[in-house]
Structure 1
Amino acid sequence: MTGFSGKIDLPAPVREAIACLEAHGHTAWAVGGGVRDSLRGVTPHDWDLTTSALPDETSAALAAYEVHPTGLRHGTVTAKIDGMALEITTYRTEKGYTDGRHPDKVDFVANIEDDLLRRDFTVNAMAYHPERGLCDPFGGQSDLQNGLIRAVGDPDARFTEDALRILRGVRFVSKTGFAIERQTGYAMRRQLARLEAIAHERVLEELTGILTGPYAGRALRSCADIVAAVLPEITPMFGLCQHNPHHRYDVWEHTVRAVEAIPADPVLRWVMLLHDSGKPHAYTIDADGVGHFKGHPHISRDLAERALTRLRASNALREQVCALVELHDYPLGQEEKIVRRRLARLGEADVRRLLAIKKADCTGQDTFSIHLAELQTTERLVNAVCAAGACLSLRDLAIDGHTVRALGFTGPDIGRVLRRLLAAVVDQTVPNQPDTLCALAARWKENEHV
């Protein structure tokens, strides 16, 4: 164990769980992310414990509290103490990883050091006790202070055991801004082929974590080849010079900067990652040496569809990302009439998402500031139109299908009339008033023009 001069202020439920277990003759420590984040000065989201007690012994020691067997095969129970859920796992070692993800055999052991040896990175292989202080057999505290992500022990062995740790390492870069230690990075790349055996849903979860971290740009730049191993759609963007006055950077660097420039919402970050993925497939260069990418939004949409389908993304995520990727170049306008039409067609939520996408796209181009000024004009118009409570959808229209039917329209003509009336109101050709709308529809009926 290495020395530790500081002190972690463990939450009362964690201290209570440790005290109960030790009162029954066992040892117990806070472990993993809670310890790591506390040492970084970050408030942990949750706390895990590890103990010499077997699961039934843990349940007996914590009999005064609600305890559930949530992973008995791996020695895990979850205890709820004063509203805090604590995952408590017996010290264990793991052997054999036939599927490259899960241990074939779990053995319970008697000491904390053996348990820490099975963990992925040194910064996650530290434990803390309120009296004994920090248990840090692999130098996690030093790596934490130096901003390094280092595998515990032999890095090739760690990634052979569980290939998902490769992506988890990149996710730690995105979360912390740390660098991957050199030998660990070499091993991650040597073991990339093992990612093929990982469930697509787990890969998607890690990729989304990478994209939404505060240091996503650093992760994407330093580990682009690792990300591309599970997302080959991004590879053609690497180093592709755009030869275009609207772009200062190659396609990949532009993409990374656009990801950095948009809020860390999963949908928006995925859109920015894939919005220009179609450019390499649409690239042409004219006689003046200027690059063009005609039709790239549609190609990008197809690539996004393919990638997110393969990764088994939810329908909601896939549909939102694909729709916004295809629309990312769609003009929103700097005139109120055009803005009202866009709001009517797309809805306020998607218009605001597109504004964010376009701002990030402009930031990633880093060429003409006038484009950002134009988007600010558009945003002011969007705010004004929405604040005024403008009629922008059929549900806002002053008449409905029953009224139109009463005017003598039937079948599909009812919907067509309502849509034409809405378009007239959106363009402010007529006011959204029942009498006016009925008179206009009646005139169309009289002229048999729908």
Structure 2
Amino acid sequence: MFSKILVANRGEIALRVIRAAREMGVGTVAVHSTADSDAMHVRMADEAICIGPPSSTLSYLSVPAIISACEITGAEAIHPGYGFLSENAQFVQIVEDHGIKFIGPSAEHIRMMGDKITAKDTMKALGVPCVPGSDGGVPDFEAAQAVARETGFPLIIKATAGGGGKGMKLARSAEELETAFRTARSEGKSNFGNDEVYIERYLGAPRHIEVQVFGDGRGNAVHLGERDCSLQRRHQKVLEEAPGPAISPEIRARIGATCAKAVAEIGYEGAGTIEFLYENDEFFFIEMNTRLQVEHPVTEAIFGVDLVREQIRVAAGEEMSFRQEDLVVNGHSIEVRINAEKLPNFSPCPGKITQYHAPGGLGVRMDSALYDGYSIPPYYDSLIAKLIVHGRDRPEALARLHRALGELIVDGVDTTIPLFRALMEEEAVQTGEYNIHWLEKWLETNLG
């Protein structure tokens, strides 16, 4: 086991890793920008080192600064959390070249799944169901027209290197195809430096279902069920729950086994998530995230496992502490992402926290780096907390979420807490009968 690891992140996920490492008796190093000198992850780690100014480009994304921090502190491994450098294959390669262990998959697997065309081709070859559409990239508009004739409308054009909803354009008819195609290429070029796109059939009212997988890098892998992430705004997840309200145990076992087999065959190491659109009892692969997900706590709640601890163990060369037969769903869990944003426009709202009170009680977990007097900096993502609840079933989890939201206090900045309090009253949320378009329509009606 490692004696010391460096956490190359900030906020709640950095705290999450530090806590897991401390329980394992592993020392931790926090890196931080000058804007995060008073951050909670800096206070909680065994050591802390400043790696640059507020700009993430010059601090949390600075590979030389992070490698130097490892060498200065003697950290043997790096946990990337999510975001920042967590899915940067070049960073992973540099880390490994310096004799430091990256806690996560190999550079090869990150590269493979980071390119969406390669990922889709790989998954198709491994027997994972994929959305009908182009075979690889679409080089020009004439080729796009050919795909449209074969697949039919509506279509979605996606940038190969896209993410977070950027480089995705919908074409409902032949008249819309050219504009959507050229816009997707332009956004891919400007946001990711790559204008290659591919085309898929657009599903009318799917759910967003993702399957949690975990491998040991030696050909052994398991799945830990699915999460439903269908409540989204502009392709950004807002609420996640596990297990999925629309997924039966039989369907869960089938798609889970397919995903576990796929990652086992490629020798995948660590945590990963295979994401699907789900409609009419059919799954269609969209991407694989080669890292820990923001919403991993709901999976931990229903299976009683610590995914971060498992990441560290497997990276240190130990065997997985569970087998597939050990993983039995227990109850229901829901997570809401609380952002420092001003409604109705969801504009970032940095500022000083004048009062913070976290909810408690049975089945309530709060992952946050907030404290009274903390100043949320304006330089980073607006996610400030995750409220996770667990109950014996979905109604009990919803009741706990409703109660916990009533207890939660975050004063001094605007947050999305009022949004979730309002959503708790909606029948579609109470019954779980929603799809990826439901929240956008609700926001248009209720927030304008």
User: Quick check: which has more Rg, 1 or 2?
Assistant: 1
Greater relative contact order structure (CA < 8 Å, 6+ sep)? 2
TM-score when normalising by structure 1: 0.22
TM-score when normalising by structure 2: 0.22
Which structure shows the higher strand fraction?
2
Which structure shows the higher helix fraction?
1
